[in-house]
Amino acid sequence: MIYLFSVFLCLWSFSSSGTAFLSGSEDIPLMLGMAVQESPAIFDKKEGQVLVSKAITHETTPAILRFYDQVLPNLGWTKLGMDTYRRKTQTLKIKIEKKKNGQHVTFNLVEVNESLEKK
């Protein structure tokens, strides 16, 4: 119960601050100054669902990773690696590529079918 209340407070604080969220996922916030490049690609597979969304920013790679390191645990995510997080049946991988016009950030969100997870 306390966990749900904490998540609610965190989401409420993001929504009341005007924070934008990743297209296709209403609870992964975009870093301030980050702009979504295109509509997300959503794939349904027998193993689960895959969402790929892309954004661009002029922030540095360390600043981007630091932002998600600070924010995602408040939303129930556990850090698995430098750019990988896990929450229940979901895995989020954040890929950052430096290009001439800024940092291109790809969010790859995989939700494993719960019936397969229990096997």
User: What is the pLDDT confidence band of residue 10, given thresholds at 50, 70 and 90?
Assistant: very low
Contact 37, 52 (CB under 8 A): no
The per-residue pLDDT for 22 is 85
Give the Cα separation of 3 and 8 in Å (integer): 9
In the chain, the number of structural domains is 1
* pLDDT tens, residue by residue, 73-109: 999 999 999 999 999 999 999 999 999 999 999 999 9
The per-residue pLDDT for 6 is 44
* pLDDT tens, residue by residue, 41-51: 999 988 889 99
With tokens 């609610």, the residue in question is: 8
The per-residue pLDDT for 21 is 85
Q: What are phi and psi of 88, to 5 degrees?
A: 50, -115
Structure tokens at 89: 């049946």
The per-residue pLDDT for 14 is 44
- What range does the domain containing 84 cover? 2-117
* pLDDT tens, residue by residue, 61-72: 999 999 999 999
The per-residue pLDDT for 71 is 96
Q: Model-level pTM?
A: 0.78
Amino acid making up residue 70: Q
Mean pLDDT within 105-116: 85
